Amino acid sequence: MKAKEITTAIPNESKLIYDWNGLNGASEKMGSVEFNDETLRDGIQSPSACDPDIESKLQILHLMEHLSIDGVALGLPGASARQRNDVRRLAEEIRDESLDISPNCAARTVIADIEPIIDVADKVGIPIEVACFIGSSPIRQYAEDWTLDLMLRHSENAVKFAVDRGMPVMFVTEDTTRTPPETLARLYTTAIEAGARRICVCDTVGHVTPPGARALVAFVAKLVADSGEDVAIDWHGHEDRYLGVWNALAALESGASRAHGTAFGIGERCGNTAMDQLLINSRLLGWTNNDLSMLSEYCKVTSKAIGIPIPSNHPVIGVDAFRTGTGVHAAAVIKARKKGDDWLADRVYSGVPASMVGRQQHIEVGPMSGASNVEYRLNELGIEVNPDRVKVVLAAAKNANHVLDDKEIKAALVLS
């Protein structure tokens, strides 16, 4: 929020919140930052996820559009008839509703995987980016009995096949973060020469750390610059070492222009980089200005559709993200509100303003609460506050092993 949006009763934001994050000057150097949503492809590859019905997928697609997400992976149409039908329906929705989000579909570097994407694009009449992927690391080569020459031949043939049929191509190297530079140089150069105009750097097994992400993307950016072609760089990460968001931000700082993610980080094994966290961090860093008021709804709808609950402590969109039962924390929020402006209350004990994502701060009563918590809850419930009532409810909270819900607060007053 800009200082000019703050009421005159509140001091200038920069005087209340010192921001160390801006000291390296990265925000001033950032170019355009984009996002590609993998929820409907890589996300539902989670072994715990259900493949949503098409109506749910359409609802999720529209929520992505509302969040100004730039690209969406519609699925892998070469996998099954259902996948192909869903991809076509989603592409028709993008066409018929004139959505700004750009579609792409995954395919191995195999002609049989690419043909269904071309078929859908031709029937629907909109461009669909072909995301051709091939494993690139030595460990993958050894497991598959591939030679580099074979990989180069498959990559060149697949990219040319798609490009010759008028399809935009993103060339994807799986396990990029465990691949030596000479292999990457040959694969990416081959793909670019064959017509790929986007390449994707993948941390497929969540191996890399932020310094490694920076070094790798800088290396790839130089390859692109040396090619003389206008080629964009994507970053696709996973959470096996819980570094997905950090790695994605490092990649964007180092030359990638688009980062991939999924709703609340769903995906294989430990999941993908969380799209919600990419969006909120990019907004708070000043890289983007997307309207995030529907961010919680996007995650809730996805959660219901795939049958995976959102962890209660998940940042920003978890049920506990803006909820406190601790006396000191609650007192600070309450005192801030008494100063007459919700802006202060929304930030005094929160690194992310709840209002930015369509939520609000919640104060509960529990074992770690103080009198101010009780007074606040009683006011919220429309119950007149007096010292005896506060004492009764606080005693009940201190004897409980959990935060009291509203029924328990009322029951404590009745029993007194």
pLDDT of residue 60: 98
- According to the model, what pLDDT value does residue 20 have? 85
Q: Which amino acid makes up residue 109?
A: T
Residue-level pLDDT at 28: 62
Cβ 73 vs Cβ 37: under 8 Å: yes
Q: What pLDDT is stored for residue 1 in this prediction?
A: 32
Q: What is the mean pLDDT of each run of 10 residues along the chain (416 residues)?
A: 39 76 68 96 97 98 98 96 97 98 98 98 98 98 97 98 98 98 98 98 98 98 98 98 97 97 98 98 94 98 98 97 92 87 90 94 94 93 95 96 95 85
Q: Average pLDDT of the chain?
A: 94
What is the Cα–Cα distance from 380 to 409, expressed in whole angstroms? Answer: 12
- CB half-sphere exposure, 239, CA atoms < 13 A: 21
| Rounded alpha-carbon distances, angstroms, from residue 269 to 48, 117, 120, 152, 351 | 9, 27, 30, 29, 29
Query: What per-residue confidence (pLDDT) applies to 339?
Result: 85
**8-39 residue pLDDT tens:** 445 566 688 888 887 666 666 778 899 999 99
- Determine how many CB atoms are found less than 10 A away from the CB of residue 51: 17
Strand partners, 28: none
State phi, psi for 211 to the nearest 5 degrees.
-60, -40
Q: Which two tokens stand for residue 328?
A: 């000191």
pTM of structure: 0.92
CB atoms within 10 A of CB 144: 12
> How many Å apart are CA 174 and CA 107, to the nearest integer?
12
Cβ contact 173:136 at 8 Å: yes
C-alpha dist (Å) from residue 195 to 27, 56, 152, 154, 157? 32, 35, 14, 14, 11
- Report the sign of the C-alpha dihedral through residues 71, 75, 77, 78, in that order: positive
Give me the pLDDT at residue 2, please. Answer: 34
pLDDT at 6: 35
Instruction: Identify the structural domains of the chain with CATH numbers, from first to last.
Output: 32-306 (3.20.20.70), 323-415 (no CATH)
Radius of gyration of the chain (CA): 25
